[in-house]
Chains A and B, each alone.
Chain A
Amino acid sequence: MVVFKNLISGRQSEIMTNALDLAKTAAGFASNQTAIEPLVAQTKQISNQSYFGSQLSQADEEELFNIYLKIEKYLMTADPIRTFNKDELRSKASVGLRTRLEDYEHRLTPLTKQLTT
């Protein structure tokens, strides 16, 4: 039954605890990878810099949150085959990771408003 694995259960729910997994997973949902190529390259660059098992620095995490938010915006507004919503995209993030992401997002919002006015 390997061919029809996970038939009864839903898709394996792996709760993500770090920003790198969050950005990589979101990138995997994009049907046209060319459209998000620079963001994927940035993610890879950060991934290569931090060695296996090490904690991400706060600067790296914030950079990855920034990348994630751009990918999320692309998936919600511009993906050619599907429209995603914020909640479903963030549903696999752990409570802690989601809180840190939302904190970063809130800190970013006034800054973005200032830059656009």
Chain B
Amino acid sequence: MNTTFKTVLGVTIVTSLGCAASFLVPVPASWSDSALGFHWTLASSVLYTLLHVGAAVLFLSGISAYKAALRSAYIKIAFGIVLVGGGLAQVVFLNIFGLIQTPWVQYGGIMLPFVVAGLAIYFGTRSMAALMGVQSILRNVWFIASLLVACVTVVSLLPHGPSSLPELVFDISNAISTWDMVLYGVSLGLVLKMRAHTGAHYITAISWLAIGLCGSFVITMCILIETLLLGAAPAAISINSIITISGLLYLKAGYSFARTKEL
């Protein structure tokens, strides 16, 4: 039994136990829906969070074979993946435990993981691309900064459905989705360039990372479009399902990267 298999097995067991344990958590007084609804929402959040964490663990399990510069790039990507899952889960946890009125939410801290996740994944893929000798405008930080400003401005000016939120809060929320969408898209572009540039040994792993990033890009775009059309974030159940798929894609990418240490 090799180390990668043991890691996948460990992730599967911990994820299953986490989901099962969610059903033992007592329903808080602040929860207005059914008990099953509470446990199902909590279990699905735990599921996709642990899948993202597991993906990061798999990414990091293979780094011993690589040089320090690539290890640093891997750590940034893994950190970004953990923040994607953790950031989304905190929204659910804060909602179901009635913590929306806390200073963390009131002062915008809730958005911080999403902002940092996009940046971490971008800088991780940028470092990897630089190491592999990929030449691209997508590596230029000033170009990306300009792209972010332009996209965020355009999205803030777009007409949208009636929202119960103040206009500024609604725009900030959409700006952060746009921020992530742009950074995932740019990272995807760099990963595809890397795929064309690197040896056959790394192609499967890089392809799965591209698929994972493609998933994140599409999910963020769907959330943004639906939020603009409806004036509110899409229903939790549909988000939970697609984020779980995203977690599985990153898990597969992490697994493929872990396997690259074997010749």
Interface residues of A, Cβ cutoff 8 Å to B: 3-4, 6-8, 10-11, 27-35, 80-84, 88-89, 91-92
Contact = CB atoms under 8 A, between A and B. Distances in A.
A28 B259 CA distance: 15
Interface in B123-138: 131-133
A30 to B, nearest CB: 5
A33 B59 CA distance: 23
A67 to B, nearest CB: 15
Contacts of B70: 80-82
Contacts, number: 64
A31 B255 CA distance: 18
Given A4-B255, A27-B200, 7 more contacts: A7-B5, A11-B259, A28-B201, A31-B131, A31-B199, A35-B133, A91-B263
Interface of B: 1-2, 4-5, 8, 65-67, 69-70, 131-133, 197-202, 252, 255, 259, 262-263
A80 B263 contact: no
Q: Helix, strand, loop or mixed for chain B's interface?
A: helix
A89 B198 contact: no
B263 A29 contact: yes
Nearest to A27: B199
- Which 6 residue pairs of A and B lie closest in terms of their CB atoms, listed nearest first? A28-B200, A32-B133, A81-B70, A28-B199, A11-B262, A30-B199
Contacts of A3: 252
Given A3-B252, A32-B197, A34-B197, A82 B67 contact: yes
B198 A32 contact: yes
Contacts of A35: 133
B143 to A, nearest CB: 22
Contacts of B8: 4, 7
B262 A33 contact: no
Contacts of A8: 1-2, 5
Given A4-B255, A28-B199, A80 B1 contact: no
B124 to A, nearest CB: 13
Contact of A83 (B1, B67, B199, B263): B67
Contacts of A83: 67
Choose among A8, A80, A91 the residue with the greatest number of B CB atoms under 10 Å from its CB.
A80
B197 to A, nearest CB: 6
